Amino acid sequence: MGEIEAQESWGFDTRAIHAGQEPDPTTGAVVPPISLSTTFAQDGVGNTKGFEYSRSGNPTRTAYETQIAALEGATHGLAFASGLAAEDNILRLFKAGDRVLLGNDAYGGTYRLISKVHTHLPWTAVDLLDVDALAASWPKDTKLVWLETPTNPLLRCFDIEAICALAHERGAVVVVDNTFATPYLQQPLSLGADLVVHSATKYLGGHSDVVGGFAAANDDDIAQRLRFTQNAAGAVPSPFDCYLALRGAKTLAVRMERHCSNARSIVDVLIGHKAVERVLYPQLPDHPGHRAAAKQMRDFGGMVSFTLRAGQAAALRVAAATELFTLGESLGAVESLIEHPGQMTHASAAGSPLEVPDNLLRLSVGIETAADLVADLAQALEQA
Ligand code: P1T
* Count of structural domains, the chain: 2
**Ligand 1 midpoint to CA 107 (Å):** 6
Say if residue 268 is in the same domain as residue 375: yes
**pLDDT for 241:** 98
The one-letter code for the residue type at 186 is Q
Summarize the confidence of residues 327-353 as an average pLDDT: 97
Say if residue 192 is in the same domain as residue 260: no
**pLDDT for 93:** 98
Instruction: Give all strands of the β-sheet with 276-280 in edge-to-edge order.
Output: 276-280, 303-308, 360-364, 337-339, 326-327
* DSSP conformational letter for 346: T
Say if residue 228 is in the same domain as residue 305: no
The one-letter code for the residue type at 195 is L
Say if residue 81 is in the same domain as residue 92: yes
Using a 6 Å cutoff on CB, does residue 199 contact ligand 1?
yes
CATH code where residue 375 lies: 3.90.1150.10
**Ligand 1 midpoint to CA 62 (Å):** 23
Among 184, 215, 249, where does a domain finish?
249
Please, how many CA atoms are within 13 Å of residue 71, restricted to the half-sphere of its CB?
32
Say if residue 241 is in the same domain as residue 283: no
* Closest ligand 1 atom to Cα of 364: 20
CATH code where residue 55 lies: 3.40.640.10
Instruction: Tell me which residue range forms the domain holding 148.
Output: 3-249
Instruction: Give all strands of the β-sheet with 195-199 in edge-to-edge order.
Output: 76-80, 213-217, 195-199, 173-177, 142-148, 99-103, 123-126
Please, how many CA atoms are within 13 Å of residue 250, restricted to the half-sphere of its CB?
13
- Dihedral Cα 368, 371, 372, 377, nearest 10 deg: 110
Which helix (H) or strand (E) segment is 130 a member of? none
49 φ, ψ to 5°? Answer: -95, 20
- Predicted confidence (pLDDT) per residue in 36-66, tens digit: 999 999 999 999 999 999 999 999 999 999 9
Catalytic residue among 64, 88, 98, 107: 107
Say if residue 368 is in the same domain as residue 263: yes
Q: Rounded to whole angstroms, what are the CA distances from 299 to 10, 90, 186, 290, 373? A: 21, 28, 9, 11, 20
Question: Contact 101/122 with Cβ under 8 angstroms?
Answer: no
Phi-psi region of 361 (alpha: psi -120 to 50; beta: other; left: phi over 0): beta
**pLDDT for 3:** 52
Distance CA 93, CA 86 (A): 12
Say if residue 56 is in the same domain as residue 111: yes
Task: Clarify whether 278 is annotated catalytic.
Answer: no
Catalytic residue among 88, 177, 194, 376: 177
- Predicted confidence (pLDDT) per residue in 277-317, tens digit: 999 999 999 999 999 999 999 999 999 999 999 999 999 99
- Predicted confidence (pLDDT) per residue in 58-84, tens digit: 999 999 999 999 999 999 999 999 999
Which helix (H) or strand (E) segment is 188 a member of? none
Say if residue 234 is in the same domain as residue 371: no
**pLDDT at 1 > cutoff 80:** no
Say if residue 176 is in the same domain as residue 73: yes
- Predicted confidence (pLDDT) per residue in 82-119, tens digit: 999 999 999 999 999 999 999 999 999 999 999 999 99
Closest by alpha carbon to 23, among 12, 15, 14, 32?
32
Angle between helices 239-249 and 59-72 (to 10 degrees): 30
User: Distance from first CA to last CA of the chain, Å, rounded?
Assistant: 55
pTM over 0.95: yes
Say if residue 17 is in the same domain as residue 112: yes
Using a 6 Å cutoff on CB, does residue 109 contact ligand 1?
yes
Instruction: Tell me how crowded residue 70 is: count the other CB atoms within 10 A of its CB.
Output: 25
Count of all residues that appear for the chain in the document: 384
Among 198, 230, 249, where does a domain finish?
249
Using a 6 Å cutoff on CB, does residue 331 contact ligand 1?
yes
**pLDDT for 8:** 81
Share of the chain above pLDDT 70, in %: 99
Say if residue 296 is in the same domain as residue 204: no
Say if residue 172 is in the same domain as residue 272: no
Among 212, 231, 249, where does a domain finish?
249
Identify which of 87, 146, 186, 201 to mutate to test ligand 1's pocket (most ligand atoms within 8 A of the CB): 201
**pLDDT for 194:** 98
